[in-house]
Amino acid sequence: MNQVLTFGEMLMRLKTPGYSRILQADSFEAAFGGAEMNVAVSLAQFGDAVGCVTKLPQNPLGDAARNTLRRYGVDTSRVLRGGPRLGIYFFEKGTDIRPTNVVYDRAGSAFATAQRSEFDWPALLEGVRCFYFSGITAAVSPELTGALEDALACCKKRKIPVVCDLNYRGKMWTAQQAQPVMDRLMQYVTVCLANDEDFEASLGIRAFDGDMSRGIEQKEQFCEGMREITKRYPSCTTVASVLRNIHSVEDSEWMGILLQNGTFTETAVRKIHVMEGVGGGDAFGAGLMHGLLHEKKPQEVIDFALAASVLKLMIGGDLNLSTEAEVEAVMKKGAGAKLSR
């Protein structure tokens, strides 16, 4: 099998049409996503074998979520079924000075109420070459934190490398709650993705002052933070970050930095006009893993990851429906300019 395995929740996303406010909407576009599921789908588009572990309710909404994974080539044979409901989030896309607005309705979901004991990791990790999770899964419930710990211990025993996107979510837990948990989990991590507030909120490392309009200007502090991670967690030999200057909902600059075995590699800064600002981090993670799994050179790894990330921002929905060839085309400057015909 030799699959990547990701572990996390799948939510239904209900988006108002176009730029409508929730107050105006009388319909919602339905899609499915969730950090770890997004990573799995993106890897599948790149041509990598990938499966996921999650739990979905035994009803047509759960079926629809599962079918989305299948549609995009993710192995769903390890998806648990049962539990009360599918988590939802409502999405109102902002523009320019009007921020995007998300209303979470994920409490009490099948995944959130799953028990640690439901996950039989020795069986689930059979044939797995790499395990991915993000801080969101750790934040959902203590039972799931426990499940994660079981998974990571099992990975350690089998020498399966572990990738963790810190992915701090202030609406799910506080830094005080997050830090001891993430510290415990980081002991097992091989590759860590850390962006913006993640450093401080998840790990208590000061690397970013919180001003999203000038992240790139703080490159040095980011690098220090990244190095600090590798110091604290010796198993973690690779850290990657996205740095951003965000000027409005659409206008921003992005760059990526990779710290691998003590050496930093960075991309050029890309100026972009975002179409839908969701899932860029997950696409970055998938792009990074794809490069690492295929043993590309550091510059290619980080360039590919950043190109995947910004290309995702031009695609609606949570899922990065881009092929490897499409990402590589974006790696070259000016790729969007020409209509081939």
Q: Which of residues 132-171 bind a second copy (CB under 8 A)?
A: 169-171
Nearer to a second copy, 14 or 155 (CB): 14
Contact stretch for a second copy (CB under 8 A) within 179-187, 227-235, 294-302, 313-321: 313-321
The answer to the question of residue 310 lying near a second copy (CB under 8 A) is yes
CB 71 within 8 A of CB 98: no
Widest CA span in the chain: 55
- For the bound state, the minimum distance from the C-beta of residue 312 to a second copy, rounded and expressed in Å, comes to 9
- For the bound state, the minimum distance from the C-beta of residue 108 to a second copy, rounded and expressed in Å, comes to 5
Question: What gap in Å lies between CA 185 and CA 27, rounded to an integer?
Answer: 41
- For the bound state, the minimum distance from the C-beta of residue 159 to a second copy, rounded and expressed in Å, comes to 29
* Burial (0-12, 13-18, 19+ Cβ within 10 Å), 116: middle
Number of residues that bind a second copy (CB under 8 A): 82
- For the bound state, the minimum distance from the C-beta of residue 79 to a second copy, rounded and expressed in Å, comes to 12
The answer to the question of residue 80 lying near a second copy (CB under 8 A) is no
Q: Site for a second copy (CB under 8 A): which residue of 1, 82, 103, 231?
A: 103
What is the side-by-side order of every strand in the sheet holding 88-92?
11-15, 88-92, 101-105
The answer to the question of residue 22 lying near a second copy (CB under 8 A) is yes
Q: Site for a second copy (CB under 8 A): which residue of 47, 82, 99, 127?
A: 99
Tokens of 168: 């701090």
Contact stretch for a second copy (CB under 8 A) within 25-33, 122-130, 146-154, 224-232: 25-33
Beta bridge partners of 56: 81
Question: What DSSP string runs through 108-122?
Answer: T-TTTT--GGG--HH
Q: Site for a second copy (CB under 8 A): which residue of 20, 141, 221, 235?
A: 20
Question: What gap in Å lies between CA 325 and CA 340, rounded to an integer?
Answer: 15
Nearer to a second copy, 64 or 237 (CB): 64
Question: What gap in Å lies between CA 24 and CA 242, rounded to an integer?
Answer: 35
By CB under 8 A, the residues from 241 to 300 that bind a second copy are 246-250, 252, 270, 272-275, 277-278
Q: Site for a second copy (CB under 8 A): which residue of 95, 117, 174, 299?
A: 95
Question: What gap in Å lies between CA 132 and CA 288, rounded to an integer?
Answer: 12
Nearer to a second copy, 54 or 252 (CB): 252
The answer to the question of residue 213 lying near a second copy (CB under 8 A) is yes
Beta bridge partners of 244: 254
Q: Site for a second copy (CB under 8 A): which residue of 14, 165, 243, 256?
A: 14
Nearer to a second copy, 45 or 179 (CB): 45
Question: What gap in Å lies between CA 326 and CA 292, rounded to an integer?
Answer: 18
CB 32 within 8 A of CB 68: yes
The answer to the question of residue 28 lying near a second copy (CB under 8 A) is yes
Question: What gap in Å lies between CA 235 and CA 9, rounded to an integer?
Answer: 26
Work out whether the CA dihedral 203, 170, 28, 137 comes out positive or negative. positive
